[in-house]
Amino acid sequence: MLEDRTTAAPWPAAYPSGYAVVDVETTGLARDDRIVSAAVYQLDAQGEVEDHWYTLVNPERDPGPVWIHGLTTDVLEGAPLFPEIAEEFSARLEGRVLVAHNAVFDWSMIAREYARARRTAPVRQRLCTIALAKELRLPLPNHKLESLAAHFGVVQQRAHHALDDARVLAEAFRPSLRAAAGDGVRLPLLECRPLTEWQDSPAAPHIGRQGSYRPGGWRPNRKRPACPYPNPGRYEADKPLKQGMRVAFSGDTSIERELLEDRAIEAGLHVATSVSRLTSLLVTNDPDAGTSKVVKAKSYGTPVLDEAAFGQLLRDVAPATGT
């Protein structure tokens, strides 16, 4: 059990009154993928555990990466459908800030499930523990959950099991929250916007494929559409990204690379496979690495941002000039 330091300063009045630490396991990362299990740890204002909850969910399709989450078709066959657990899920989320590691992914999957069920998740704000770790300047080697857990001495028992991942995150979030309160750090809260459209997935299993995951790769030979916007040039610090900017990625990312690239494309950015003088920005969590992309970016003077900062900028990309 972790021993959290008690903050000497008064607890910030502007902080939320409660949190719902969430983890979901899914059939994949695409828009039509589904949740196969979900867990929620309810925390009070100071991060103390009040309750926890876990459920399997029948995705009505192939379970996807069984080698990751361990949930087979046989295990999920008798599980409830998402509409059948939506009310209980809502009761766990109601009036709380949703907390997750790479929160945009968990929120997107949850919001889509609620939209398919013709409901709206009772969540108004989310907090990403990756962004919070950056605000606290934690000395992490990367932004993976296991690194955050190790920093706070939290022991992982069953990686990629929603209940244990949620527990690990809850135990790592508590000291993070108290450190933020003690230092007067403003929490990186983002708005959760419910979906107004949905696309129903086929009820039949997708024979011959495992959702959007494949061993050793993810949607191979996938051709991306051309960016419709002209390149506005280099990214400038303290200014928003602009549609048409050419973005390259280098090294490991806590968000699956293809999902991160999808988000960039959806925001109107051009994802480049290499770095050139026309590249607007390089995203990397290891700017000191000697990869060819990092070396070229430095030689060209191309701006470099880490994944968390890039994720924050993605939520408000400026429209292309003339649009």
* Positions marked active-site: 160
Give residues with Cβ within 8 angstroms of 10, minimum separation 6: none
d(Cα 293, Cα 285) in Å, to the nearest integer?
13
Of 148, 140, 165, the closest CA to residue 21 belongs to: 165
Of 156, 149, 193, the closest CA to residue 173 belongs to: 149
Amino acid making up residue 246: R
Give residues with Cβ within 8 angstroms of 230, minimum separation 6: 244, 320, 321
Q: Are 66 and 89 in contact (CB under 8 A)?
A: no
DSSP code of residue 122: S
E strand segments, the chain: 18-26, 35-44, 49-56, 97-100, 125-128, 189-191, 213-214, 217-218, 246-250, 270-272, 281-284, 304-305
